[in-house]
Amino acid sequence: MTEHTAANAESLTGVWHGTYSYPLGLGSVSFVATLIEARNSLTGTTHEPGHRVLGPNVTLYASLSGSRQGGAVAFVKTYDGSNPNYRTVEYEGTLSGDGTEIEGRWIISTIWCGKFLMTRPAGKAESVSRKAFERV
């Protein structure tokens, strides 16, 4: 089995650490995403610090819903509504050959977009699956 095939077969379920960047050098934001993959469907949640305008003590929460087709990953992040300035964001990315990175771009409507990168340590999906199996 090739590396690319192995990554495509590996589950995305687990905790991912990410960063998305704004265009025009306006900065970047770190986030934590918890993904659950069932067949080709993705669900999950994120939390991230509020943008500098919101203040240092604000945390934004969102839900995720999407899909994966081989190495192509797509999901929609919907903020919980606690801040009306934050809306739905579409993410489109590609899973790395070793299954440890998803890189791509985010889009808000057709007016705003930037890049993102999500990473996880190698072997995390396997250990999560093994723990779930051992509990059964």
**What is the CATH classification number for the domain harbouring 106?**
2.40.128.120
Show the domain range for 17: 3-135
How many domains, in total, are found in the chain?
1
Instruction: Name the pLDDT band for 135 (thresholds 50, 70, 90).
Output: very low
**Res 7: pLDDT:** 47
**Res 81: pLDDT:** 83
**Res 52: pLDDT:** 66
Mean pLDDT of all residues in the chain? Answer: 84
Give the chain as a 3 state SS string. CCHHHHHHHCCCCEEEEEEEECHHHCCEEEEEEEEEEECCEEEEEEEEECCCCCCCCCEEEEEEEEEEECCEEEEEEEECCCCCCCCCEEEEEEECCCCCEEEEEEEECCCEEEEEEEECCCCHHHHHHHHHHHHC
Q: Give phi and psi for 120, each to the nearest 5.
A: -150, 155
pLDDT average, residue stretch 95-107 = 96
Query: pLDDT by residue (tens digit) across 4-37?
Result: 444 445 899 999 999 999 888 888 999 999 999 9
